[in-house]
Structure 1
């Protein structure tokens, strides 16, 4: 877990509060248990004092009040009656005496707590009753301090075990609570990743109330970016039609014999065309920057193009075979993908003898579309030549010579490539690589 993560902060805060709560609860319960056990001992000693007082007021020495445990020597449970000198003491003192503090100057007649020592110096818990008279009478009842510590130790041991189990349960509950509480944020991250990968257009609006405003702002931002992208693409397309086509036409006219004897105009037009294409490429790349949400399935696009071109070349009996997995998609805008695939398929249909084959496979860097035909094909020098704008190898075939260069330019814009080679059918094989 990252030190600055929400999960860490929540866990540290919750564990700290649980620890403080358990410590406070342990101290409070321990104090209550101490008061309870001490109250039980004081009640037993007060009962003994009451019996001794009754005997003293009746004028009889209370020697017969040595009930267990006051009758066992060394037990710590003892009593003593004093009136100037010791009148009587329990058999447990074995002839010794109780060392008690001097009486306070408060009102006599009620037992009071005190601390004392036994005959062997052992610590005792005392209850002392001072009766007025001449001389005054003092009745002491004692219990060993172990009578308080022993039950408390056993009770606190059980309490500590119970609090430990409770703490573990609370920690487990905190872990579950943090996991459940941060679950929507984790799902939000997955939804954003899906939007970035193109599997979703927007983040689902069904969110907890706390993050619903954030999701609404994210969706508004996505919608705004999509609108800006569409406007930018429209401007770029308009500029491309306004500049590129006239320049290409001018270059073709100047290439005719006698039009530009020195070649200066053709060089200038070529430089202008390169600069226009360079800046258009930069503008289009800027429009597409950050638009990783483009994801266009290949199978339906190729199926539509096959149907359209099959009708267009029906008089020649061209057969177009497709081998396209339904789950493959390219990270391209639909319009650009249609233009690239359309150029390649149309070129194959124009030059084939009757068969065109389109296959799509997954590659390490994306997807690869192979368009093959059974036409005459091209040698390496001719394949390089047809990539030049406006260059046509056969003027008898309809066209302007821009299809393959435009396809190459679009493919490179998306980080892909276009390679020409020999097909297994005997003709040309155009391999178009695109990001997935």
Structure 2
């Protein structure tokens, strides 16, 4: 048992899959770039604070009540009150503060003891509860004295504000990149699936009879599929030809025995033989029609140019009836085609046009028009025409209205049978020209 294959749209599946991967890639890229920007911005602030701490540590000197700074460190931005940029030096109870800190103290969090004498990062809270980024440097104090703790602080907004602005720009850039990628994916999917659409059109042309095979010039990925399709078409065509040959052989094989029986019935060789022969003829024709319909199961692939066949038959029959002076006018648009075998079409057209020429006074008109999925062919003449009862009578096999006119009475019934075989119809009406109008409807 074969595994169930998923349905749906291949284009939609490809597009959604690519969209998911692009979205994940953009999210990962955004997070990675954001982390890099954060580390860069934090490194810049830490370097600035470390520079301030190292400068203060080099200017520290012992004083009478604690450490003092030999040089002022009140430059911007540490001179603006409550700016978030603070520094503080504490040795026991002695405290030195930046002008921006005023009389407030910085609460120091627990920080690990540095091993190399370098500043240690920390996060703290300012006098107004604002978030601060801290760098803490612990120096050994004088003998028997407390350690000296130097703290430099920067507002957390100095880090998060630029990151927020950079994040907006980054999100916009990634969004534009995502739109471009999605547009590129859409174009790529459409271009990638274009050979499949071309293959669909080629198969439609084969089904309509415009082509016998699918072109072999295909992309490498679908070339094996096209090869298998062409092999299948060849096999179906061979089966069709064999089936039609069998039907033809059957028809020819039964024609002679039935004709012999019919002649015997006409001579009255056996009473009651004529009804049996007629019944056999009906049964044989019925089953032959069914067999032929099965053989023509692929007839939708048959495409016959109606305009060309009509013109050829009209020209031939015009010469045949030239002594009667019958003019045949055809009004069939070039390119008009029907889904019908060429030989069957010639037989139907030949019967109708020949019948019109036999009964026409001087004019025969042939027109064709499309009606939905059917082509309606109208063959008209300016002869005497038929009543509805006569029209029904002549559609019966072997029935003739005038024995003086050459013919065997089988043309119109055969045309009707062939038309019905292809899903069409034949009707006889009164023409505007005064004579007979034969409407032959065949699939387009």
Question: C-alpha separation between the residues in 2 aligned to 1:224 and 1:117?
Answer: 86
**Which of 46, 52, 55 is 2:56 aligned to?**
52
Q: Which whole-Å deviations, capped at 9, do the CAs of 1:345-394 have from their partners, x for residues lacking one? A: 23333444554332223334522222233444444333333322233344
Displacement of 1:108 after TM fit? 4.1
Equivalent residue, structure 1, for 2:187: 176
1:70 alignment partner, SS class: coil
Equivalent residue, structure 1, for 2:80: 72
Question: C-alpha separation between the residues in 1 aligned to 2:15 and 2:434?
Answer: 67
1:159 aligns with 2:159: no
**Which of 129, 143, 152 is 2:154 aligned to?**
143
Query: Contact 1:63–1:88 at 8 Å: present in 2 too?
Result: no
1:337 aligns with 2:345: yes
Query: Contact 2:85–2:153 at 8 Å: present in 1 too?
Result: yes
Displacement of 1:88 after TM fit? 2.3
Question: Are the structure 2 counterparts of residues 430 and 103 from structure 1 closer, same or farther at C-alpha, using a change threshold of 3 Å?
Answer: closer
Structure 2 spans left out of the alignment, 5+ residues: 1-5
Q: Which whole-Å deviations, capped at 9, do the CAs of 1:2-32 have from their partners, x for residues lacking one? A: 9921222222222222221221111111111
**Which of 34, 37, 41 is 2:45 aligned to?**
41
1:272 aligns with 2:276: no
Question: Are the structure 2 counterparts of residues 146 and 378 from structure 1 closer, same or farther at C-alpha, using a change threshold of 3 Å?
Answer: closer
Query: Contact 2:205–2:211 at 8 Å: present in 1 too?
Result: yes
Query: Contact 2:80–2:100 at 8 Å: present in 1 too?
Result: yes
Question: C-alpha separation between the residues in 2 aligned to 1:385 and 1:106?
Answer: 119
2:105 alignment partner, SS class: coil
Question: C-alpha separation between the residues in 2 aligned to 1:248 and 1:376?
Answer: 33
Question: C-alpha separation between the residues in 2 aligned to 1:332 and 1:34?
Answer: 76
2:115 alignment partner, SS class: coil
Question: Are the structure 2 counterparts of residues 238 and 376 from structure 1 closer, same or farther at C-alpha, using a change threshold of 3 Å?
Answer: farther
Displacement of 1:303 after TM fit? 2.0
**Which of 177, 184, 187 is 2:198 aligned to?**
187
Question: C-alpha separation between the residues in 1 aligned to 2:130 and 2:378?
Answer: 101
**Which of 83, 94, 97 is 2:102 aligned to?**
94
Equivalent residue, structure 2, for 1:23: 27
Normalising by the residue count of structure 1, what TM-score does the alignment of the two structures yield? Answer: 0.89
Query: Contact 2:265–2:274 at 8 Å: present in 1 too?
Result: yes
Question: Are the structure 2 counterparts of residues 146 and 391 from structure 1 closer, same or farther at C-alpha, using a change threshold of 3 Å?
Answer: same
1:6 aligns with 2:10: yes
1:143 alignment partner, SS class: strand
Query: Contact 1:369–1:433 at 8 Å: present in 2 too?
Result: yes
Q: Which whole-Å deviations, capped at 9, do the CAs of 1:209-253 have from their partners, x for residues lacking one? A: 322322232232223222222222222122122214542563355
Query: Contact 2:61–2:70 at 8 Å: present in 1 too?
Result: no
TM alignment of 1:413-432, pairs within 5 A: 413-432=421-440
Question: Are the structure 2 counterparts of residues 146 and 352 from structure 1 closer, same or farther at C-alpha, using a change threshold of 3 Å?
Answer: closer
Question: Are the structure 2 counterparts of residues 287 and 158 from structure 1 closer, same or farther at C-alpha, using a change threshold of 3 Å?
Answer: same
Structure 1 spans left out of the alignment, 5+ residues: none
**Which of 100, 118, 127 is 1:110 aligned to?**
118
Aligned-CA RMSD value: 2.7
